[in-house]
Each structure stands twice: as structure tokens, then as C-alpha cells.
Structure 1
Amino acid sequence: MKIERNAKAQVPGQRSRRRKWLEIGLAVLALAAAAVFISRQGGGKAEVETVTVSQAYPSQNYTLLNATGYVVAQRKAALSSKATGRLEWLGVLEGSRVKKDEVIARLENRDVSATLGQAQANIKVAQANLEQGQAELLDAQQALKRASELLAQKFIAAASYDSAQARYNKAKAAISAQRAGIAAAQASAQSAQVALDQTVIRAPFDGVILTKSANVGDNITPFSSAADSKGAVVTIADMDTLEVEADVSESSLSRIKVDQPAEIQLDAFPELRLAGVVSRMVPTVDRSKATLLVKVRFIDHDPRVLPDMSAKVAFLSKPVTAGDKAAVTAVQPSAIATREGKAVVFVVADGKLRQVAVSSGRKVGELVEVGGVKPGDKVVANPDAKLHDGQPVSVAKK
């Protein structure tokens, strides 16, 4: 019996274990390949692109030009007193509505008030002097009459008559001086009244208080920049004169004219559309921006409109009718498909398609008016013929 020493020893069951591990490895590779394939294919779901159903306004069909700007008040004033003094009383806050000539604030005015009282007292003194002068004039007039009668009867000398005549003339002249004194006293009182009125701040027109720049106790010095002093006390604006100032490129000026209808949209309230009209065009071009300032007046007024709000202006070829003021539901025309002779869209919800019949209407800009869906719905863009109701889909990432 011969033993081969160079031959490899064979362990029992070794071949079966190698085959088993090979089969496991091939299965893992197959599963990995299947997972990659499934992930690339979206889990077997069709991949679609979607668009959003939105709201559109019919006025887009006759919009000639769009511009941006800000709301400003045509009539606006910073109120202060002509006098200098300490603010004693302030009767308004930001947002307060005031009427014309309503007292808004008052400075300390005891000194000016005392001067007015003294001037009014001087008027009474002058009036009393006039009354005394009138009494003296009446007495001199009667004495002159008696002297004239006695002189005619030669009971008195001519010198006595001349003395009575001089007294009468002097009393008459005193009346003129006393009346002039009354006029001077009245003028002084009027000057004191003006000085007193200058310590009171009144509203120059009906409006709303926009800002409050001073508080009670502040020194008001309107014509000086002294330290720790204030100029204007409040700022007021007439809300009935609000308008939008928009910059329009000079290359687009041919599409705008005075009294042209416009539609104003506020950034703060996108759903609010207000009618306006071009009131005037400032006849100066900004050379640095190559734009012209166009002012659009509000026709529709809303209490929510405030100065310095951002606004968009659509310049129109015709006024917006009542039927075109409301927004309509619209979608891109490419999202509408035909199934069995009917217009439909495919709404994507919860990873599945829902076929919805729609009624299409007029075009609104680049969109088309539809019924049967609501704004915010996600619908398939450019649906192909293979899509059907209830089909699971995945939305393509843009």
C-alpha cells in the first residue's frame, strides 16, 4: 500500500459548504441589484411633473405695463408751534384721527396769557378814558352854547366866549386821541392773542397722526437745533389724498398717459385689488435710472391702505368691469387632457392620481380658466395617454 504525500487532504463536507456560501453571495448581489433598480424606478410608480392650480385676475388680459412703487400721502405735514417753550399737553397718539382746527398740543403759556390779560385791561382803561372824554365834551359843548347866548345879549365879554370855545375844541380833540388809544390797546391785545395762539398746535386739515416726535416736558424749538430740543411734535397725513408713486422706464412711457385706468395691488394684502387712475406724470426723467415718476390716484379707498406701503401698479387699456374684479381659478393649458371626449386634469393626492373632469373657459394671461378644481391643487403637467385614475405616481423633483 502506497501513500501519496503531495496530494491535498480532503475534509469531508468542504465542497458543500463552499457551494452554500457561493449561493448566499449571489442572492445578496441579486437583492442589491433589485433594490437599486426599484429605487431608480420609483418603486414601480410612474414619475410625473406637477403644476399648481392658482387664482388669476381677468384684468391681466388688458394689462399694458406693470410697475412697482410706494403709497404716499399727497397732503402731509410735520406740525410744530411757532413759539418756543416746554410742551405742556399732548392730546394725540399715533393713529389718532383729528379734525381741522382741533387742538393737538399746547406749550406752557402763562406768561403770554398774562400779557394778553394786561392788553385786554388796557383796552378797558382806554374805553373808560373815552367815556370820560365824551362827558367833558358834552359839558364843554353846553358851556359853549351858554356863552354864545350870553355873548349875544352882551352879558359876558368876548374873551369868556373864546375861553369856552377853546375848551370845547380841546375836549373834541381829546376824544380823537382816546379813540386812537383804544385802537392801539386793541392792536396790542390782538398781538398778545396771536402770541398765545402760537403756543397751541392745531390740525391744519382732517387727517391721521402718523408719528409722534415729542413728549410732554420736551422743549420745542422749531427754528433752532439746540441740544435736547424738538422741532416737530407730530406728523399728520390726509388719508383721502393717498396715491402710489411708481417709477416707469422711459422706454415704456408711450404706453402711459394721464387719466389712464390702473389697478393697484398691495404687497401686504395680495387679494386686495383697488381701482386707480394716472393723476399726473412728473415732467422730469431720473437720468441715473432712466425712469419717470408716475403718480396713480386711488379711486377705490380702503382703510387698510397706509403710507409707505409697497404696491404694484398695472396700467390698463380699459377700466376693470364689475365682472372682472373677482379672481378666477386657472391652470396652465398643458395640464388639461382629453379622456373620452371630456376635458380632465389629473390631481396628485396621497401619491395617487385622481382624474377630475373640468370645464375650461377664457384665457387669463398665460393660463386658462377652469372649473372643478380649487386653487392649490397639484395637477400633472403634460399628462400622457398612459395615465389613468387611481394610478400610483411619484412627483419628479425639480
Structure 2
Amino acid sequence: MATPDISRLKIERGATTQVPGQRSKRRRWIKIALVVIVAGIGGKVAMGQFSGKASVDTVTVAQTWPSQSYTLLNATGYVVAQRKAALSSKATGRLEWLGVLEGSKVKKDEVIARLENRDVSATLGQAQANVKVAQANLEQGQAELLDAQANFKRTAELLNQKFITASAYDTAQARLTKAKANISGYNAAIAAARANAQAAQVALDQTVIRAPFDGVILTKNANVGDNITPFSSAADSKGAVVTIADMDTLEVEADVSESNLSKIRVDQPTEILLDAFPELHLAGTVSRMVPTMDRSKATLLVKVRFVDRDPRVLPDMSAKVAFLSKAVPPEDKQAVTAVQPAAIVTRDGKPVVFLLEGDKVRQVAVTQGRKIGELTEVKGVKPGDKVVLAPDAKLHDGALVSLAKK
């Protein structure tokens, strides 16, 4: 087979062949693309300029308390009752009656619960019967004493008349002495019987659980039918029946850092805020400072007493305590409306804010008050309103705005 001749095959390396008019068309398309890009950019700029929507930042009008101006230190803690007791019985027995529930208000010495006491009642009845027996013996002894005294008197007269012997006189005298001695024994027996009856009465009283002070039942730890023991050592038995607290002794226990102890003192005015009721601000005062530090936390336990009381305050509520430089005057005990100072600007010589309403702003005249912390008191808007922060001089009433992206 003959070999192909490829000597005639070659590549032209000269100038490239170009279709007539191709370069001019290419330049024309480039110009069109540039015009479209410039027009798009210009359109976006024009839309931004002529839509009237200015980009703004907003802040929320807040509700604040003037007492913040007097606050030296804040601490957290819990509400506790200084007078609190877990009520049980010194006797052991089955709970027969329970007359309270959680939240029940009781008075001092009011009967709260009662254990079965038939055996103790029987012992008391026996002891009281023994007292009556001892009293009957005393009456019998007194009768014998009267008879012995009369017999001794007759014997003495007969002896003086020589009608009886001296031995008969001695016998009468011995009988009288014995009768007197029996009276002392009968009196002692009565005292012993009464002591036994008193002990039985105490044992009976111990089966009745009474309120030691005026208070409110916090928890119910046992039910009717449960076995009650003093130390709850037996299986399936209960110790305390109920837990009671005196609500008039509620205090807040707060931990204060060791580095801030110079800012607090006894009888210092405070303001107590409860997490459960944020709108509730109660006046208080430093009652006492526990004279020992918690080494692990480097804190001191400070107890704050309530000056203002509210029935909604309950033990173990979490609370915040603001230690104040002075007591809050009556005019500062109400919350006020405040906003960041940068939101207030001057228009026509008057302070105004721009209230956000949808995508528009409305110019609202306000009255400025005092400075409270980082905010300024204002009147004319309400808490929760959105206002423009640091509005520029071009912003006007009714202007369209958009929120700036952060």
C-alpha cells in the first residue's frame, strides 16, 4: 500500500480572515450594553431620589422610673419569711382530722389538725378518777381525825378523874397523831394524782396541733390517715403536717458583692422589684446585714424589710433590690415616659419627635422633662411608640421612610 503524500498540507499563518462589517457590529453592541447599564444605575438612583423614602433608624419609647436616678447598687435575691414553722406533733399517731388547706389563714392557738387520741383520753380519764379517789381518802381521813380528836379529849378528861389508866390515854394520843399523819399522806396522794392527770392532759394536748402564731398555710405535707411521728423515722410516716409562715415578716434576702459593701448601710432606703410583677415597685429598707461573708461567692447576705406591703408578695419569689442614695419622694413613685435624647430634635423652636406610622413619619410635639439615667422624660408620646433616632434636618412631617438595615 502506497504512503499518502502530506507535503501539500499546511496552515496559513498570515493575517486572520475577517468578515466585512463584523468589527463595527461588535462595537455597536458594546455601546448598547454600556447604555443599558448606565440607564439601570441611573434608574435606581432616580428611584431612590424621587420615591421620597429616607432610610432611618428607630427606637422605642420606654416606661421608666425616676428612682433610677437615686440607685447606687442593684442586687438580686428571694423573698423569705423570717417567722416560719413546720408544724408537727410530739405524739405519735394517725392523723384523724385536718382543718386547713394551702393558703388558709389561721390565728394563734387555732386548732389545725388532730391525731387519734382515744388511748390518751382514756389515760386522762383514769388519772382524773385517781384524783377523785385521793380526794375521797382525804375526806375519810379528815373524819377519822375529828373522831380521834374527840376521843383524845374524852380520854384526857377521864384520866384527870382517875377513871382510866395512863395506857388508855397513850393509845388515844397515838390514834390522834396517826390521824394527823394520814391527812398529810392523803394531801400528798391528791397532789400526785393531780400531777398524773396534768401529764395525761399534756399528752392529750400533744395530739392536737395548733397554730403558734397568726399566719398563712404554705404547704400541706400530710393527709388524713397518715401516720405522724415526731422525727419521721418510721416507714411511710410523716413528720410535719403543714408549714406556716407569718406574712407580716416577709423580707428579701439579697447577696451583695464584697466590693460593694461600702455602698450599703443599715436603715438605707431601697426599692424592691418582683420578677412576677414588673410594674410593682415597693419601698423597703435595709433591716440587717448578716455579720459573716460567704467565702465561696465573696458576698454578704443583706436582709431588706418591706415598707410598702402587697398581698401578692409570696415567699420564695425572686426579687431585685435597688439600694438608693435617698428615699423616693411621693412624686417620683409613678412611672414616666422616656426616650433617648437623640430622638428629640427642634423644629420651629419647639422639641419634636418623628413618630413612625407604617412607612410614614408624623411630627409630634413633645415636652421635655428631667434626665433619668440615659433617657429623657417626655410627654406627648406613649410607651411602645416607635420614633426616629437622630432624624436629619431634611426629614419632615408625612415623609416616607424605610428602616435602615443593620
Instruction: Report the TM-score when normalising by structure 2.
Output: 0.88
Q: Distance in 2 between matches of 1:98 and 1:290?
A: 40
Q: How far off is 1:71 after superposition?
A: 0.4
Q: How does 1:286-305 map to 2 (within 5 A)?
A: 286-305=294-313
- Report the counterpart of residue 129 of structure 2 in structure 1: 121
Aligned in 2, Cα 1:194/1:30: closer, same or farther, shift over 3 Å? farther
Query: Are the structure 2 counterparts of residues 397 and 188 from structure 1 closer, same or farther at C-alpha, using a change threshold of 3 Å?
Result: farther
Structure 2 gap segments, 5+ residues each: 1-31
User: Helix, strand or coil for the counterpart of 2:127?
Assistant: helix
- How far apart in 2 are the matches of 1:220 and 1:90? 12
**For the residues of structure 2 that align with 1:197 and 1:39, how far apart are their CA atoms?**
92
1:105-160 Cα shifts (integer Å, max 9, x gaps): 11111000100000001001100110111111011111111111121222222222
Deviation of residue 53 (structure 1)?
1.0
In structure 2, relative to structure 1, the CA distance for the partners of 1:81 and 1:385 (3 Å cut) is same
Question: For the residues of structure 2 that align with 1:192 and 1:42, how far apart are their CA atoms?
Answer: 100
Alignment of 1:144-163 (within 5 A): 144-163=152-171
Q: Is it true that 1:278 corresponds to 2:286 in the alignment?
A: yes
Q: Paired residue for 1:373?
A: 381
Q: Secondary structure at the match of 1:251?
A: helix
Amino acid at match of 2:268: Q
1:276 and 1:42 mapped to 2: Cα distance?
59
* Per-residue deviation, 1:396: 2.7
Amino acid at match of 2:153: K
Are the equivalent residues in 1 in contact too, given 2:77–2:253 (CA < 8 A)?
A: yes
1:83-162 alignment, distance < 5 Å: 83-162=91-170
Q: Which residue identity is paired with 1:159?
A: S
Post-superposition Cα deviations, 1:319-361, rounded to whole Å, max 9, x if no partner, equal 1111111111111111100000000001101221010101101
Q: 1:395: Cα distance to partner?
A: 2.2
Identity %: 78
Which structure's CA Rg is the greater one?
A: 2
Q: Hey, what's the Cα distance between the residues in 2 that align with 1:323 and 1:37?
A: 54
Q: Determine if the alignment matches structure 1 residue 251 to structure 2 residue 276.
A: no
Matched, 1:261 2:269: yes
TM-score normalised by length of structure 1: 0.90
**Matched residue, 1:347:** 355
Q: Distance in 2 between matches of 1:329 and 1:277?
A: 27
| 2:215 paired residue among 188, 207, 217 | 207
Equivalent position of 2:9 in the other structure? none
Measured at CA, do residues 373 and 289 of structure 1 come closer, stay the same or move farther in structure 2, by a change above 3 Å? same
How far apart are residue 196 of structure 1 and its match? Answer: 0.8
Please say if 1:389 is aligned against 2:388.
no
**Aligned match of 1:164:** 172
Do the aligned residues in 1 keep the contact of 2:52 with 2:399 (CA within 8 Å)?
A: no
Q: Which residue of 1 aligns with 2:14?
A: none
CA distance, structure 2, for counterparts of residue 116 and residue 387 of structure 1: 93
Matched residue, 1:334? 342
Corresponding residue of 1:240:
248
Equivalent residues of 1:68, 1:312 under 8 A apart: yes
- Separation in structure 2 between the aligned mates of residue 41 and residue 190 of structure 1, nearest angstrom: 101
- Residue 332 of structure 1 contacts residue 368 of structure 1 at CA under 8 Å; is this kept in 2? yes
